[in-house]
Amino acid sequence: MPSQCVSKQTLQRLPTYLDYLKRQGTDPPKNISATAIADALNMNHVVVRKDLASISTSGRPKVGYDRVNLIRELEEFLGYDNADDAILVGAGKLGRALLSYDGFLQYGLNILAGFDTDPKAVNLEVGGKPILPMEKLEDLCERTRVRIGIITVPGDYAQAVCNLLIKSGILAVWNFANVHLDVPEGILVQNENMAVSLALLSNHLKERFSTK
Amino acid sequence: MPSQCVSKQTLQRLPTYLDYLKRQGTDPPKNISATAIADALNMNHVVVRKDLASISTSGRPKVGYDRVNLIRELEEFLGYDNADDAILVGAGKLGRALLSYDGFLQYGLNILAGFDTDPKAVNLEVGGKPILPMEKLEDLCERTRVRIGIITVPGDYAQAVCNLLIKSGILAVWNFANVHLDVPEGILVQNENMAVSLALLSNHLKERFSTK
């Protein structure tokens, strides 16, 4: 098994390859090369070759990959057969968007439930996921042994929610609140700032204009 | 002026520094060092020093930064005085979450309006932004000369929306649909897959467990 450590960029492209490999019509080729995939997707040959090499060792020169085998390897890497569970706290607009986002399945990720303090939100279902009252959080974490918590509450509440998650056994936090979280050693925190990506794009655009 | 090219990680941390520098009470210090900021935020000294050096050249050894000056430099870099406009197509849950997300302002970004084909969504206001019918897209782009378009429609419609955006003068596309977009040369595309970040976190967690 190749290293599990791939870049974010590679991770982002893997479902595209998988999707393409599966859409090969009624008489699919037995073997397929990285170059052929790159051409079909209008992508850089070197990028595709490196991406596939990082998750599979079965490619052969001049032959390429066994298509069915590569599909299996991609699915295995992306965790299709072994979904990871997560819970989410804060069922506002962003929280609900994440609860109903169907892209997580592509990566073998499953949000079990959302939690909120708002009585109007509690007991609703969003994207087929229940929104539960905060009082049930600890119990659900204990029963399901879920290890990933997603924070989509306003910044002022984020640290308190983070503390509760850690107390409930959460080991990894995906933080959408724009505040710095203090956590004990051993707890993973990944900060997500939706604005940063848009800011990057806007910066790239400015650079391009300023060099012309 | 230092280079405008900073990493995504640095960009993500800049508002944290700015926020901290502004929260210095009624009698704030005139000068402040990268080390002091790092200590207060429980962050790595080297990281903070490099981040600040990438957007300011005014820091002096043993003295640090002039606080007011550093605030101004951060705000300028983040575009507080010169907001970039964008439009969004697809006012579903994710689109609405982005329309009402207040974090964009931190980066001098402003979504002017959302667009949708659904008559039930059209003419609603979300986060103070109007949702307009698709027929108005070209006209608004022409009048405002907006250059950034955000795609939050289902995958099947993304390419058609992208074509319309480009026809309307959009130069940079922030794509949330999980499909590969074909664009002419010169158009910037940044793909955003919400699941990738969660997948990364989940991978890190697995690595940590497997090495213990």
If you average pLDDT over every residue of chain A, what do you get? 89
**Are B196 and A100 an interchain contact pair (Cβ–Cβ within 8 Å)?**
no
All domains in chain A, ordered by first residue: 8-77 (1.10.10.10), 84-196 (3.40.50.720)
- The DSSP-derived string for A94-138 is HHHHHHT-GGGGGGTEEEEEEEES-TTTTT-EETTEEEEEGGGHH
**Are A195 and B107 an interchain contact pair (Cβ–Cβ within 8 Å)?**
yes
pLDDT digits 0-9 by tens, A20-29: 898 887 888 8
The complex's ipTM works out to: 0.74
Q: Quick one: tokens of B127?
A: 């986060």
Per-residue pLDDT of chain B (212 residues; tens, 9 = 90+): 344 567 878 888 888 898 889 888 788 889 999 999 999 988 899 999 999 999 998 889 889 999 999 999 998 888 776 678 999 999 999 999 999 988 888 788 899 999 999 999 999 999 999 999 999 999 999 999 999 999 999 999 999 999 999 999 999 999 998 888 999 999 999 888 888 888 888 878 877 776 54
Q: Would you call A146 helix, strand, or coil by DSSP?
A: coil
Query: What is the nearest CA distance from A190 to chain B, expressed in angstroms?
Result: 7
Rounded distance between C-alpha atoms, residue B104 and residue B98, angstroms = 9
Q: Which residues pair with A174 in a beta bridge?
A: A150, A190
Rounded distance between C-alpha atoms, residue B159 and residue B83, angstroms = 28
Query: What is the nearest CA distance from B211 to chain A, expressed in angstroms?
Result: 12
Q: With contact defined as beta carbons under 8 Å apart, do B174 and B193 qualify? A: no
Closest CA to A7 of B204, B47, B188, B179: B204
Is B169 annotated to bind ligand? Answer: no
Which chain A residue has the Cα nearest residue B91? Answer: A97
Token match 């002022």: residue? A156
Is A90 annotated to bind ligand? Answer: yes
pLDDT digits 0-9 by tens, A18-62: 888 988 878 888 999 999 999 998 889 999 999 999 999 888 988
Query: What is the nearest CA distance from A201 to chain B, expressed in angstroms?
Result: 7
Q: With contact defined as beta carbons under 8 Å apart, do A151 and A126 qualify? A: no
Rounded distance between C-alpha atoms, residue B164 and residue B87, angstroms = 12
Reported as half-sphere exposure (CB side, CA atoms, 13 A), residue A97 has a value of 25
Rounded distance between C-alpha atoms, residue A109 and residue A120, angstroms = 27
**Are A104 and B192 an interchain contact pair (Cβ–Cβ within 8 Å)?**
no
Q: Which of A6, A96, A101, A150 to mutate to test the interface with B (most CBs of B within 10 A)?
A: A101
Which chain A residue has the Cα nearest residue B150? Answer: A198
Q: Quick one: tokens of A194?
A: 């939706």
Give the DSSP letter of residue B92.
S
Rounded distance between C-alpha atoms, residue B83 and residue B72, angstroms = 15
Residues of chain A with Cβ-Cβ distance to B106 below 8 Å are 178, 195
Q: Would you call A180 helix, strand, or coil by DSSP?
A: coil
Query: What is the nearest CA distance from A105 to chain B, expressed in angstroms?
Result: 8
Is B95 annotated to bind ligand? Answer: yes
pLDDT at residue number A2:
42
Q: With contact defined as beta carbons under 8 Å apart, do B162 and B153 qualify? A: no
Q: With contact defined as beta carbons under 8 Å apart, do B125 and B72 qualify? A: no
Is B92 annotated to bind ligand? Answer: yes
Q: Which residue of B42, B180, B198 is in closest CB contact with A182?
A: B42
**Are A198 and B150 an interchain contact pair (Cβ–Cβ within 8 Å)?**
yes
Q: Would you call B149 helix, strand, or coil by DSSP?
A: strand
Per-residue pLDDT of chain A (212 residues; tens, 9 = 90+): 344 567 878 888 888 898 889 888 788 889 999 999 999 988 899 999 999 999 998 889 889 999 999 999 998 888 776 678 999 999 999 999 999 988 888 788 899 999 999 999 999 999 999 999 999 999 999 999 999 999 999 999 999 999 999 999 999 999 998 888 999 999 999 888 888 888 888 878 877 776 54
Residues in chain B: 212
Residues of chain B with Cβ-Cβ distance to A201 below 8 Å are 148, 172, 174, 188, 190
Rounded distance between C-alpha atoms, residue A78 and residue B178, angstroms = 15
Q: Quick one: tokens of B209?
A: 């467990």
